[in-house]
Amino acid sequence: TQLLEQSPQFLSIQEGENLTVYCNSSSVFSSLQWYRQEPGEGPVLLVTVVTGGEVKKLKRLTFQFGDARKDSSLHITAAQPGDTGLYLCAGVRGEKLTFGTGTRLTIIP
């Protein structure tokens, strides 16, 4: 089983603070995706990183793919209550996705 471990599992911070979520695996993936999922809904794709060492920015969110394509990080600057949700990384191999264990983020106003 190819496991993607995310840390932390839970994170609760004040509005305006910065945070980083990590996604680690012992396996190499062709690319890695990050999703956000709201309660009772399906996950929504935020970004796909493909190249080792790649960094992508999406407004206040910065995503990085590790050089060896085994790990990734998501950094949020100046967190807002609207960022609250379950963040999932997913490793891509072929047509399949392997989801990470998830990070439940709560931003306190």
Partner 1 sequence: GAVVSQHPSRVICKSGTSVKIECRSLDFQATTMFWYRQFPKQSLMLMATSNEGSKATYEQGVEKDKFLINHASLTLSTLTVTSAHPEDSSFYICSATPRWGSYNEQFFGPGTRLTVL
Binder of partner 1 out of 19, 22, 24, 31 (CB under 8 A): 31
We find the least distance from the C-beta atom of residue 52 to partner 1, in angstroms, to be 17
Binder of partner 1 out of 63, 100, 105, 107 (CB under 8 A): 100
Q: Is 88 one of the binding residues for partner 1 (CB under 8 A)? A: yes
Segment contacting partner 1 (CB under 8 A): 52-60, 64-72, 77-85, 100-108?
100-108
Question: Is residue 39 left, alpha or beta, with left meaning phi > 0 and alpha meaning psi from -120 to 50?
Answer: beta
Residue with smaller CB distance to partner 1, 17 or 41: 41
Give CA–CA dist 94/105, Å, rounded: 29
